[in-house]
Amino acid sequence: MKLPQNSQELLSNLEYLINQTYEVEKEFKELKNILNGVIEFLPQAIWVIDKNKNIIAQNSKASNLSQILNTNENEIEINNKVYLIQKSALEDKTIISATDITEQKRNQRLISMGQMAAHLAHEIRNPIGSISILLSVLSKKCNATEIITDIKQAIFRVERIIKSTLLFSKGVKIKPKTFLVSELKKELQNIISYYSYTKDIEFVYFLPDIEITADFELLLLVLQNIIFNAIDAIEENDDNDGLIEIIYQKDDEYHYFHIYDSGIPFENKNILFDAFKTTKTKGNGLGLALSQQIIKAHNGEITLSKNKKGFSIKIPTFI
């Protein structure tokens, strides 16, 4: 049966309209996928809320932070992270974003703490210097050797804290020079003799006569910080003795220093390099943070050892 002309045109137009609807739906899906991709790409957690407070879009970063939607605060702390909350109205929709500002907050706190610590260090340095001079005079006039040794060790500890604090607050600038790795051994042995400990600790060195270009004083400071941490870990152990190994290795690209110890395991590996945080009864939480700064200034890296309990340091052969 042949349809009237008008019916054919109507059918043709209807077919065209249906096809256009499919095309529009296809383009809408593509646009929606692009929009979802953009939202997912953003570094912030994002929600899009309708007027009935229903979530009509969000990215994966927002999926575990739903409690943010119930706060009117500009900042909120969740799982030890700080988020900056921002809201923007778009017709009958509301866009909410949560930006992780934990690192900025941490840096602000570190700057404030560093400034305060540097001020205290300056105030302490002068009287400590005077005590050291008076102690030298006293040691020549009396035989209280044991007491004088204890005082010297205490002064050494305070001076080390002052030096680390001032260096950390000012920032690390290296002055590389070429020297033999073996030169570090004598200095380390002398420094360790000023550090107080009660256990019978064996120190094993493999620091050969190989040239290295680095900042001698700062590298020495890194090694002594790690060794002192190792001594403290052995002191907290139940054993009456302990072992600390300082081992050097080299390949075409890097110098390696491995410092192993038989002390107690690390309590919290996540905060080892965080400034002013420590799980030890001794220390101010600056040693490893400063050590990391120094090694980074050498374009190197300091990490936990994979083989034994301890640390591994690598420094490029060419700085």
CATH architecture for residues 102-171: Orthogonal Bundle (1.10)
Over residues 59-64, the mean pLDDT reads: 81
**Was domain 5-101 assigned CATH 3.30.450?**
yes
Q: List pLDDT tens digits, range 99-125.
A: 888 878 776 766 666 666 666 666 666
- What does residue 299 show for φ and ψ, rounded to 5 degrees? 60, 30
Q: List pLDDT tens digits, range 217-248.
A: 899 999 999 999 999 999 999 889 999 999 99
Structure tokens given for 56 = 């009509």
Q: What size, in residues, is the chain?
A: 319
pLDDT at 16 over 80: no
Q: List pLDDT tens digits, range 136-183.
A: 766 777 766 666 676 766 666 666 666 666 666 677 889 999 999 999
pTM of the predicted model over 0.95: no
**Cα torsion 235, 236, 241, 246: sign:** negative
Per-domain residue ranges for the chain? 5-101, 102-171, 173-319
**Mean per-residue pLDDT of the chain:** 80
pLDDT score, position 125: 66
- What does residue 302 show for φ and ψ, rounded to 5 degrees? -125, 125
Give the lowest-confidence range in 194-198, 202-206, 278-282, 312-316: 278-282
Could you tell me the fold of the domain covering 173-319? Answer: Heat Shock Protein 90 (3.30.565)
pLDDT score, position 3: 47
More confident residue, 199 or 28: 199
What whole-number distance in Å separates Cα of residue 294 and Cα of residue 317?
Answer: 16
Q: List pLDDT tens digits, range 31-61.
A: 666 666 666 777 788 888 888 888 878 888 8
- The count of C-alpha atoms lying within 13 angstroms of the C-alpha of 168, restricted to the half-sphere facing its C-beta, is 33
